[in-house]
């Protein structure tokens, strides 16, 4: 059984996988040794694990996992991946973005794929039909936009994602809510239109906590999953296990 760990800016997600399928998932704000120990007590057959951290180094957790699990990988720019990385500065590329690109390639192995990850930041990344990660863009996420309007003004309220939006807000809260949501929708729609003109057969994947929310608000055919990074990590873990077997 494989363990994939994605430590993000706000919380950590753990997934147990067998034969490429997720068996169980866990989410926690405190990814410490005690938490991992409780997971491994429930799943003692885990013999491979991969961890990425968008928060920076987590040496205590890494050392503990490396002692407990026979084949452990700390995913960073030095780890081989089953796609070509065309990023000009691979050492600065967020590992979550590269893992998501690998996950996208595993879902659509013969098509160009545009990945939009709705996390703390919104990341937008492109993988070509022949399996090259070209890079992408980063913009503020939903909560960041709401907080920016509230924190940097004296009178604007702090808002959250609304159930409904209006093209023209009729009060201040509606103006903020619709401005943020429709601004993101128009932003992503613009990318999709331009990339569909450049790449025939483009597939679109939304991931991250707000993926389903925004998938419902765009007209394009979109595959939405919150587990794209996990699937990418598992693919990378299996790929490196095979590399070890051939050495």
Task: Catalogue the E-assigned strands of 29-164.
Answer: 48-53, 71-74, 84-85, 113-118, 121-127, 132-140
Q: Are 139 and 206 in contact (CB under 8 A)?
A: no
Q: Which of 24, 60, 96, 125 is an active site residue?
A: 96
Please say if 151 is a catalytic residue: no
Which residues, including other chains, have CB under 8 Å from residue 2's CB and lie 6 or more apart? 16, 17, 18, 46, 48, 49, 50, 234, 237, 238
Residue 192 in 3-state DSSP? helix
Answer for the pair 97, 116: CB distance below 8 angstroms, yes or no.
no
Active site residues: 96
């Amino acid at each position: 059984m494989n363990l994939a760990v994605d430590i993000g800016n706000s919380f950590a997600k753990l997934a147990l996988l067998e034969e490429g399928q997720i068996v169980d998932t866990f989410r926690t704000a405190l990814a410490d040794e005690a938490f991992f120990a409780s997971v491994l007590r429930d799943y003692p057959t885990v013999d491979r694990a991969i961890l990425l951290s968008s928060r920076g180094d987590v040496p205590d957790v890494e050392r503990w996992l490396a002692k407990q699990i026979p084949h452990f990988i700390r995913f960073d720019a030095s780890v081989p991946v089953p796609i070509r990385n065309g990023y000009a500065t691979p050492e600065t590329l967020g590992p979550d973005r590269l893992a998501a690109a690998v996950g996208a390639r595993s879902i659509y192995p013969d098509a160009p794929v545009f990945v939009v990850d709705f996390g703390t930041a919104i990341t937008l990344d492109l993988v070509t039909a022949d399996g090259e990660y070209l890079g992408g863009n980063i913009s503020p996420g939903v909560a960041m936009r709401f907080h920016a309007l509230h924190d940097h003004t004296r009178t604007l309220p702090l808002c959250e994602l609304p159930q409904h939006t209006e093209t023209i807000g009729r009060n201040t809260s509606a103006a903020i809510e619709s401005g943020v949501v429709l601004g993101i929708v128009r932003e992503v729609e613009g990318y999709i239109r331009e990339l569909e003109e450049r790449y025939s057969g483009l597939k679109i994947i939304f991931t991250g906590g707000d993926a389903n929310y925004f998938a419902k608000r765009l007209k394009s055919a979109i595959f939405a999953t919150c587990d794209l990074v996990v699937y990418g990590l598992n693919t990378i873990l299996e790929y490196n296990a095979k590399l070890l077997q051939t050495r």
